[in-house]
Amino acid sequence: MTVSVEPTSVHTPAGEREASRPSEVLRPHAEHAFAAELAALAAQDDRPRPERWLMSPWAVATYLLGGTLPDGTVITPKYVGPRRIVEVAVTTLATDRALLLLGVPGTAKTWVSEHLAAAVSGDSTLLVQGTAGTPEEAIRYGWNYAQLLAHGPSRDALVPSPVMRAMAEGMTARVEELTRVPADVQDSLITILSEKTLPIPELGQEVQAVRGFNLIATANDRDRGVNELSSALRRRFNTVVLPLPESADAEVEIVSRRVDQIGRSLDLPAVPEGVDEIRRVVTVFRELRGGITADGRTKLKSPSGTLSTAEAISVVTNGLALAAHFGDGVLRAGDVAAGILGAVVRDPAADRVIWQEYLEAVVRERDGWKDFYRACREVSA
């Protein structure tokens, strides 16, 4: 017997829901923050759409990568990277294979998964956050225990998970940090992804996925507490690896764009285009991460932290806040120095030595970096 799952909220396109969202939200969901772009793309999209998709795969890729529509509407890039990676990810969602976004921390896996779900289904909130304590109920279903004790197992007592809702409504579900979920809980996805069915043995029923359902998972293997995926589960995914930015210019563009978006939501000063401090932060992170200076002349020791693009965004955003609230609103070396120290020195003993060596051997000798060297020395003292 197949059971129908009543949606807990009415599924409407992002543009229709935008007006009801309060403007005070600190971080709007992608479908609200970019509702105008999604609506413009959907309105001008005349290509074939998979069932229950809000737009065609071509339009989804355009939404992520950016472009200009025939009517002049500018679609801002959400992801800066190889186009083929995005095309493969979008195409995967149009098949019966689930999508696994894999990469080191800070490669925009969560960001990409959110925007994919927003563009495909108009709702990025069907989310399971993976942790070491994620229970099986978070992926399958739970129970309203008051109803369960009063009346026994029944449809009214069942609490659907985000994955169950996505199956019933033909939408895109998301599972973040899948490798942090215990292995036995991970394997509860196998039947869902292979049979497209979620059994409910307590009721003698099941939920079958309707057309349009798919699942996006993200994972990395750098964090502690990682649970490797079983071969049975990994076969159910098409894996797309998100790389680190290829060049310093690409990373500077990513950091600048995200800092500008975050800064506007926090009423922070705008970052002037080409500001030196962002490029300095990116240069420091790339050199220490890669173990060699940009000119290839000096080999370096790498600290224990990942020094990801996401951390560079955090350092610059924190610097902007310092400049706004305790300075003149202009981002300077002293505003980012403390943030860089906190990002680099995770191990107080080993990382501090690596940072001091980098300051003296590289930063001190670099033309135009004297103010940056002094600021970093001051906070390191």
Is 9 within the bounds of a domain?
no
Q: DSSP of 230-267, one letter per residue? A: PHHHHTTEEEEEPPPPSSHHHHHHHHHHHHHHHHHHTT
Rounded (to 5) percent helix, strand, coil in the chain? 45, 10, 40
Tell me, yes or no, whether 33 and 58 share the same domain.
Answer: yes
Question: In this structure, are 157 and 305 located in the same domain?
Answer: no
Q: What is the pLDDT of residues 280-312, one digit of tens each?
A: 999 999 999 999 999 999 999 999 988 999 999
Residue showing tokens 């560079």: 312
Phi-psi label, residue 240: left if phi above 0, alpha if psi -120 to 50, beta otherwise: beta
What pLDDT tens digit does each residue of the chain (381 aa) get? 565 565 444 444 444 444 445 467 888 999 999 999 999 999 999 999 999 999 999 999 999 999 999 999 999 999 999 999 999 999 999 998 999 999 988 899 999 999 999 999 999 999 999 999 999 999 999 999 999 999 899 999 999 999 999 999 999 999 999 999 999 999 999 999 999 999 999 999 999 999 999 999 999 877 656 788 999 999 999 999 999 898 999 999 999 989 988 888 888 887 764 478 999 999 999 999 999 999 999 999 999 988 999 999 999 999 999 999 999 888 999 999 999 999 999 999 899 999 999 999 999 999 999 999 999 999 987
198 within a domain of the structure (yes/no): yes
Last residue of a domain, one of 190, 224, 241: 241
DSSP-assigned letter for residue 50? -
Rounded Cα distance, 57 and 210, in Å? 19
- What pTM did the predictor assign? 0.87
Backbone torsions φ then ψ of 159, nearest 5 degrees: -110, 105
- CA 340, 343, 347, 348 dihedral sign is positive
214 sits in which H/E element: strand 214-219
The confidence score (pLDDT) of residue 223 equals 66
Residue finishing a domain among 221, 241, 261? 241
292 and 202 in a common domain: no
Residues 77 and 41 in one domain: yes
- The reply to whether 93 falls in a domain is yes
> What is the distance of C-alpha 302 from the center of its chain?
25
How many angstroms separate the first and last alpha carbons of the chain? 69
Question: In whole angstroms, how far apart are CA 138 and each of 97, 181, 189, 316?
Answer: 21, 11, 11, 35
Whether 3 maps to a domain, the answer reads no
Rounded distance, CA 136 to CA 120, Å? Answer: 26
Same domain flag for 153 and 168:
yes
Structural domain count of the chain? 2
Range of the domain at 308: 248-380
- Dig out the tokens for 58 from the structure: 């071509």
